[in-house]
Each structure stands twice: as structure tokens, then as C-alpha cells.
Chain A
Amino acid sequence: MEVDNVVPLEGTKEKARTGNARPGRVSSNTFLSRSDRFFGWSLQGGGVFILGLFSIVLLICLIESWPSIAKFGFSFLWTSTWNPAHGVFGALTYLVGTFWVTGIALFISIPVAIFSALFLSDYAPKWLSGIVSTLMEMLAGIPSIVFGAFGITFMVPLLRDHFEPFLANTLGKKWDFFNGDPMGYGILAAGIVVGFMIVPLVATVTRDSLLMVPHEMVEASYALGATKAETVFFVKLKAVVPGMVGSFILGFGRAVGETMAVLLVIGNQASIPQTIQDVGYTISSLLANTFTYAVIDPLYAAAEVELGLILLLITLVVNTLGRRLLMRLMGGRLAGSVGGG
């Protein structure tokens, strides 16, 4: 190699920082060719791109919601009035609706997902487990709008004619919370549909952590005279609690921003639900329904964007937490959840 073809890398400190051998990078801490120098420099652009995209998302939400933040301050969070005609906006109704739907979704999906994960990791024979895992992952690929259409044509009539009257006549006799008018549309329908949407996510992550439980621990349980079910439920499940919690958190992050499926079945009425049969409104369904009308009025638009900002901050916090929990467990091979459509 000729001398003028090689250029010492300026800043050997960068090498020292990254020089350890690890997958994907082999340290060569003496010389780099010109093309390599250019290449290394241009790659930084890829990182800057992500940084830029993230900043754009955050900045636009902050800038565009500023009129509302400046006008209402924190009281925005606990005001339930939403009156575009008088320019008074508060998020409470939509926050409550969002958390009801998310809560019902988690309540349904957590047991279903845990038991399914156990079935996939421990009970199904290997050949079957492969097929049905695929089936479950395909469920995750079904578009939100198709779930919503299914919710309208299948879930809503089922709830209205059977399940909601049943709830009112049983639990409703004791607690008013279950004694609402059976309408089909409402937070229950939305919660159930979203619950089924996040089952594959929660179940797959839980299954993956179950598959990582050391074999020795399982043997220890059998050697103490435990049956299979005892081993699976009392030892393995206990060992994957952090992974499960991580998967619930990711599920929450996914459910809270779910839009189309919710919009179609929740009834879209700006009132705080008093019973589980009530209609309601979530942040995401409000934005999808009304944002394009709101943009003509700066304050109205700002209030809507502020709702979006709240939703964004919730998902950022939640996904950071879930990711941290799962990263420790799985050594970094984990993605967050893709926001639903």
C-alpha cells in the first residue's frame, strides 16, 4: 500500500471508544483508506436522520400545541369541558376514555396471552407450536381497520344482544358499573377488540422469555416431584415475571394509541363513561374524527395536537420502560411495538 493512499484516522480516541471486538465491527486501529474515511463519515448521516425524524415529531407536537399549553396550562389535564364554540378545551373526557379502553384491553389480553404463551412454549408439540405460533403472529399483521370492521359486524351485535344484557343482569344487580344500557358500541366493545389486537404481541414476547428459562431450573422442579403443570406455572412463570411485565407494558403502549378499530366501535361520544356499557371517546379516535375540522381554528387545532402530544409522551415513557425491562432479559434483540393504524 502506498503511503499517500492511507490516511491515519484523526482522533484515535474514537477507535479507543469503539475498538473492542464485537459482532459487526472489527477494530483496525492503525490506518484507514480514504474511501473508508468518507464511508465512516457518511454513515453518520443515517444516525442523524433518525435523530432528525424524532426531533421533528416531538417539535411539531410541541410547537403546534403551544397556544393550548400556554392558555390552559396543566388544568388542561383535569378539565372535562371540550367546547370549540367557546374556545374552552380540556382533555379529561378523552384521557378517561383512553384509559378505560386500554384497561379493558389489558384485562382481557393478559390472561389470554399468558396462557397462550405457556401453551406455545410448553404444551403444544413442537411441530404444532411452529404452525400455531405463525397463526398467532399473523393475527398481529391484520390491519387495524379490518379489526374495526369485524368489530362492527360481529362484536357489536354480539355484545348488544347477548353479552351486555347478561352483564347487566348478573354483575349489574350488584354493581351499578355493570348496569348500563346494552348498546353494543362503547368502551367495552373497543376494549375487547383492542385486547384481541394486542394478545399476539404480549403472547409472543412472553413466550420468548419462557423459552429462555434455563433448563436446569425446570429439571430442579421435576426432581422435587413436581408435575408438568406445577413446574410450568409455579417455577417457569415466576422466573419470567420481568419479561411478562415488559410485554404488558409494550401491550399498553400499543393499545393506548390504537385508532381505527376503536373509532369504529366506541361510539365517539364525548362523555365520561359511567358504566362499562357506555359509549365514550379516546384521544386517538377524536383526532382521527375531528382534526381536519379543527385546523381552521388555531386554538382548537392546538388543543387537539396537545392531546396527541400527551399520547406521544405516554407511549415514549411506556415504551422506554418496557424496552429497558426486556433488553436486560434478551440482550438487546428486541424492538418496541409498532403503533397501530
Chain B
Amino acid sequence: MGNEKKGSLSLFRRVRTVLLGFLTLAFFIVAVAPLLLIIWTAWDKGKSALNWSFVSTLPTGFPVGSQGGILNGIVGSIILVIVASSLSVPAGIWAGMYLWEEGTTPLARLIRLLSDLLLGVPSVVWGVVGFYVFSTSTGYGLHWGFSAMAGGLTLGFIMIPIVTRVTEQALRDVPLTFIEGSFALGASRWQTLKSIAIPSAMAGIGTGILLGVLNVLGQTAPLIFTNYYNTGVPSSLVGSQGAVGDLAMQIFIYIHEPSEILHTKAMAASLVLLGIVLFIDIGIRLMTWGSRKLYARVG
């Protein structure tokens, strides 16, 4: 302290201050390094396989995939996302509207808790549930086999709580004055929701859907239980011929094979998947410019 009387800060405190500040930067770099390393690794190992025919042809050769591309995976992923969305978008918006409307009643609180807990259910558990609901050929369930409907709807289950949460939040972000103004003009609750709240919350709800799609695109584990994989394009969506390819699943299968060329293709497929995911991610950010909160919560 003697030194400080004169007006200068002690060396110990100067060093400590600089060091701690530097440590935050160092750890931050450690935290984001994987992002850059992953992109770089995928690019470095996969770029040789990446060309137009890679994304526009079906896998061929032996082992399957050593020639040709990943069209089956791209088409399959699109089918799965469409199936998943067709369940989760209406259901999630419905549940989100319910939570918004009911607000803080005990039942609504319980539902909100359950919805949030569904967000955290491990993907293998979803796989098990999807298997018994859709795929199993014995007992109760729909007996759809390993198929796009089974896989897609299981992914739809995963998407529902995401869409629910973001829809509710987006509706809550609609200024109360809009709602009150509508009531003051004599509009009913339904008219208010339909013509004021939903349109104002559209961007937020769209974000929720895209967030769900983002999540679904990266899911692999549930598909192991409900769809597995197909090297071609399916002729139906249910039954024994109903399985589809899937980008994430394709990466999983290729990386598991003891084949250099398949590893290269897995890396190239990772690049494609990363590209799609980052594209959607950036799209969401552009949509929700200024209200980043919404994204950070669920992501």
C-alpha cells in the first residue's frame, strides 16, 4: 500500500489484472477453436471428393459409396424434415398458443415445464420411443417398419417442444398495447390472435421452425432406431421399402467403415451438412436481427 499512496498501482495488482484479462481471451479462443478446426478438418480431408456430381448422384461401387455421391442422403434429409415439420409445426404452434393464452395457470405452468423437459430428453430415448410407436412389428404401435414416416415423425417429436417454446416467446414479445388496441376496437380473442398477435409474431415463429429443422438435420441417433439408412431413393414412406437416406446417418456409416475413400466422402458430406446448417443458422440470425435472445435460449 505504501506505493499506492503516491498514486501508482502495485506491480502485483497490475500483473494480476492483465493476466486475468488475458486468460479470458485465451480460454475464449480455446472455446471457439473447435468450430474453426472442425470446418478446417472437414475441408482439408473432404475437399477432394467435393464436386457437383457428389451432391447430384446416388452412391455406387463397393463398398457402397466408394463411387458416386450423396444424393440419397440429401433427398432423404429433405423428406425427413418435411415429415417432421408437418407434425411439429402445427402441434408446436398450437401448444405455444395455448401457453401464451393460459399464461400462469397451474396447468399451463405444468405444461410449460413438461415442454421444457421434453427439450432435454436424450436423443436415444426418442429413438426408443419412436421405435415402439412407429417401427416395431410386434405389440402395439403403428408397425411402419424402418421408414421415412417412422423416422420423420420421431424427429417431429423432438421438434415439437422447440417450436412450442419459440412460438410462446414470440407471442409474448408482441407489445401488449397491440393486443389491448385490438380489444378496444371490439375484436374477439380469436380475431385478436389471428389478425394481430400471430402476424406480429410470424418472424419469431419462423425462427422456431428453422431452429427445429436445424436440430432435426443434425440428429442421427433417433434414426438408428426408426429408419436407419437407404442407399437409394425410397418408393414409399412406410413399410419395408420405406427407409430413406440421411446426411447425418450417411456420415455415421461412412466414418465407421475401414475405408479411406469412405472417410474422405464422410468428410465431404460433413462439409455439405455443415454448409446447410450454417446457412440456416445465418438465415435465422438475419431474421431475428436485434432480438438475439430468442435464439440463444434454445440453441
Listed in ascending order, the chain A residues whose CB lies under 8 Å from chain B are 17-18, 22-26, 28, 32-33, 35-36, 38-40, 43-47, 49-51, 53-54, 56-57, 60-61, 64, 111-116, 118-120, 122-124, 132-150, 152-154, 196, 199-200, 203-204, 208, 227-230, 232-233, 250, 253-254, 256-260, 264, 283-284, 287-288, 291-292, 295, 304-305, 308, 311-312, 315-316, 318-320, 323, 333-341
Contact = CB atoms under 8 A, between A and B. Distances in A.
A132 B119 contact: no
Given A46-B94, A341-B219, A51 B273 contact: no
Interface of B: 9, 13, 16-21, 23-28, 30-32, 34-35, 37-38, 41-42, 45, 91, 94-105, 107-108, 110-111, 113-129, 131-133, 136, 157-158, 160-162, 164-165, 169, 171-172, 174, 176, 179-180, 183, 188-191, 193, 197, 214-215, 217-222, 224-225, 228, 248, 251-252, 255-256, 263, 266-267, 270, 273-274, 277-278, 281, 285, 292-293, 295-299
Given A336-B117, A336-B120, A24 B179 contact: yes
Given A50-B114, A145-B248, A150 B37 contact: yes
Given A24-B172, A135-B32, A57 B17 contact: no
B103 A18 contact: yes
A139 B277 CA distance: 11
A292 to B, nearest CB: 7
A38 to B, nearest CB: 8
Nearest to A130: B292
Given A140-B299, A143-B248, A320 B113 contact: yes
A274 B123 CA distance: 28
Contact of A40 (B42, B111, B189, B222): B189
7 contacts: A28-B183, A119-B27, A137-B281, A154-B41, A295-B131, A305-B128, A333-B169
Interface core residue of B28, B189, B256 (most chain A CB under 10 Å): B28
Contact of B224 (A116, A230, A250, A292): A292
Contacts, number: 353
B274 A142 contact: yes
Contact of B28 (A61, A119, A260, A287): A119
Contacts of B16: 227, 229-230
